[in-house]
Amino acid sequence: MTRSDRTGRKNGIAGNSEPGRAPEDARYRGLLLALASGALLCLSFPRYGSALVAWVALLPLFLAVRDASPLRAFGLGWLAGFSGYAGILYWIVHVVVHYGQLPVAVGVPVMLLLAAYLGLYVSVFAGILVQLEKRGFPIILAAPLLWTSLEFVKAHLLSGFPWSNLGASQYPNLPFIQVAEFTGTYGLTFLVVMANAALFRLLFDRIDDRRWIREVAACVVLLAAVHGYGWWRIGDIQKKLDGAPSLAVRLIQGNIEQDVKWDPAYQQETVDIYTSLSRQAAPPPGSLVVWPETAAPFYFQDLNDLHRQVVLLPRETTSWLILGSPRYEKREGEIASFNSSFLVSPEGTLHGRYDKVHLVPYGEYVPFRRIIPFLTALTAGIGDFEPGPGYRALVMGAHRLGVLICYEGILAEAGRAYKRQGADLLVNITNDAWFGRTSAPYQHLSMTVFRAVESRLFLIRAANTGISAIVDPVGRITAQTGIFERTTLAGSVKFIDEKTVYGAYGDIFVYLCLGGTLVVIGFSSSGRFGRPRSSRTDPPRGRQKKEKEP
């Protein structure tokens, strides 16, 4: 074998091709593999996907970037991420066109622009991964460290976007997700990416003597241990729930169309619908009735006829009531608006209030208003809100309630803040009418499930148009409604005081991943991983020694 032949093969190309350039068929193959990974990432999430798909979603991308240059891997990674997020977030077009009153010709580019930005995280992942692997660092550790670290950055940079983190795709896999009480969803992401890397090694990368056997075996043992712990923990939590005190709850799903929700002509009808459904649900004395986000389409703080009609309900049923309503404060000639929830006692008195902390850009407030003025239309009808002062649990008799309004349900830090304040029930109120009949309501619920596991608390969810649900402390959805149906969900919750590592220490696992990633990159730059791995197309090392140069 000539030196030029070996150079060509090491770059994954024919010996007579220009070094460093892949032939056309290899280029197209890489593009198709990257697109395949994007499609599989999309199909890992609800409504149309399956959690099982996530365990193989990265295989095509690993194949696409093997032996690629870092620059080409960067491009292929971006293509995989862009196509995946475009499929996951297609519903944004519906939101900005139908409610933002933007033309489709603008709505589609808005969604694609967000997908392009999110795709950058996958591109950085692929580019660095190739560089680390060429330096001899095992993919089975490099891949999960990188992906988990970048996912954390994505969830916090520029106000953060933790929507559809890879670990969240596993919400139906109850034994597996129990480890979230230690690591949050980032630990699940780490394990899913590690499993993809191990499968890649097993199927396509069995070189370097028998190192691949040790790596795959270690992954199998780790996953088996996680699932074994999960099964045991589910049984352990269930035993503690069996004798725990309970509370009856009634979740009211009014199914008010977004197009009429803020029309003053429909205010009375909306309140009539919610009060009528609440009475039909027959809440027992001392129970908790929950209305969704902004279920009261008026300022509940104003003591008018609508306010009096609402507070009459808890007095008649001797139950507690949580409802969502906008709120305002007058400040030196200006009016500040808030997206709030109110707790009304069985005596009909206001017992507490929580103002939403984490607002959704262009849904509840308009950043860069002067730069992009036309996007102000997205807040028409609900106002331009200000964030509340912080996550504050509401006191309901002997219990403390942690209220998560809409998007806050997918924020781990919100659930963790309430856990530290001694909350013993999480209440998520939301209005998902914006999403229409897309995948978004299903995705939204799936991510909220993890707040129950991380805190080991029951979580109840009242959504205007669905999906309303009751989630137990192991992440099991014990009851739920459909979308766009007017109904009530009756059930009960139980109270246990179960401490969790994640509740106490937060994202310490992902901080370790970030530190590990920086250390790995630093060592890689100094070339301290030993000799690089041999090319996958080179003959085994024993045979290489017998070859002679011409």
Q: Is residue 512 packed enough to be buried (19+ CB in 10 Å), middle (13-18) or exposed (0-12)?
A: middle
- Choose the catalytic residue: 133, 215, 293, 408: 293
Contact predicate 153/139, CB 8 Å: no
- Report the amino acid identity of residue 409: G
Q: Is 495 exposed, middle or buried (0-12, 13-18, 19+ CB in 10 A)?
A: middle
Annotated catalytic residue within 151, 406, 494, 513:
406
293 is catalytic: yes
Residue whose pair of structure tokens reads 């995946």 in the numeric block = 84
The percent helix, strand, coil of the chain (3-state, each to 5) is 50, 15, 35
| 423/374 Cα distance (integer angstroms) | 41
**Contact (Cβ atoms closer than 8 angstroms) between residue 411 and residue 446:** no
Cα–Cα distance measured from residue 62 to residue 119, given in angstroms and rounded to the nearest whole number: 16
Write down the H helix ranges in 299-424.
Answer: 305-317, 412-420
User: Annotated catalytic residue: which of 42, 215, 219, 356?
Assistant: 356
CA atoms of 73 and 127, how far apart (whole Å):
5
Residue 499 a catalytic site member: no
Check if 406 is active-site.
yes
Identify each DSSP E strand in 374-504 by its residue range: 394-396, 399-405, 425-430, 459-463, 469-471, 477-480, 487-494
d(CA 353, CA 360): 20
Q: Indicate if the alpha-carbon torsion angle 301, 303, 304, 305 is positive or negative.
A: positive
Q: Could you give the CA distance from residue 315 to residue 345 in angstroms, rounded to a whole number?
A: 8
Q: Which residues are catalytic?
A: 293, 356, 406
